[in-house]
Amino acid sequence: MQLNEEIRDKEVRLVGDDGEQLGIMSGREAQEKANEQGLDLVKISPKAKPPVCKIMDYGKFKYEQAKKEKEAKKNQKVITVKEVRLSPNIEEHDLNIKANQAKKFLKNEDKVKVTLRFRGREMKNTHKGKEIMDHFKEILDELCVVEKPAKLEGRQMIMILAPKKEQA
């Protein structure tokens, strides 16, 4: 954004600080009008023919913009992804403990990445890994939706679960 002496256009369309159209004039005249009012001349639409400039307090404008951005950031919900790691030869009790941990994450509105890692000869039994992933999903069925189904990526099988949206 160009302001004051940086604006070198021959002709500009000038808008007052109250939003009133002041017409088309030379860049120098527009700068003089801004100086008379003790405000800044800011080019707000450089692509227009002629470019549109506005008389405003630039410091106040920047402050307002920062305030709006901060407010928008405050209303955002940050989604975190928590990870639960399983192994192909996990016992039922251990699987339930991992599922309970995943339930806590889902209730906290976090996504859960379920990773099942195959080591060495376990790669022959990827079908067993798929069964474990499906069983894990069944345990958590009422709390989550599958965002990304179980898929083998290298030596790992990965599935991503997202919390169910509450129906109002």
CATH code given to domain 81-163: 3.30.110.10
Helix axes 92-107, 126-139, angle to 10 degrees: 50
d(CA 95, CA 83): 14
CA-closest candidate to residue 91, choices 138, 132, 124, 133: 132
Residues 135-166: tens digit of each pLDDT: 999 999 888 899 999 999 999 999 999 998 76
Question: For residue 6, is pLDDT > 90?
Answer: no
CATH code 3.10.20.80 for 4-71: yes
Q: How many CB atoms lie within 10 A of CB 63?
A: 11
Query: Which residue from 140, 138, 146, 150 is spatially nearest to 162, judged by alpha carbons?
Result: 146
pLDDT beyond 80 at 168: no
Q: What percent of the chain has pLDDT over 70?
A: 98
Domain boundaries, the chain: 4-71, 81-163
Q: Alpha-carbon distance 26 to 31, whole Å? A: 9
Let me know how long the chain is: 168
Q: What confidence tier does 4 reach under pLDDT thresholds 50, 70, 90?
A: confident
Give pLDDT tens digits for 45-88: 888 888 899 999 989 989 999 999 888 888 777 778 999 999 99
pTM of the predicted model, to two decimals? 0.55
> 3-state class of 41 per DSSP?
strand
State yes or no: pLDDT of 94 exceeds 80. yes
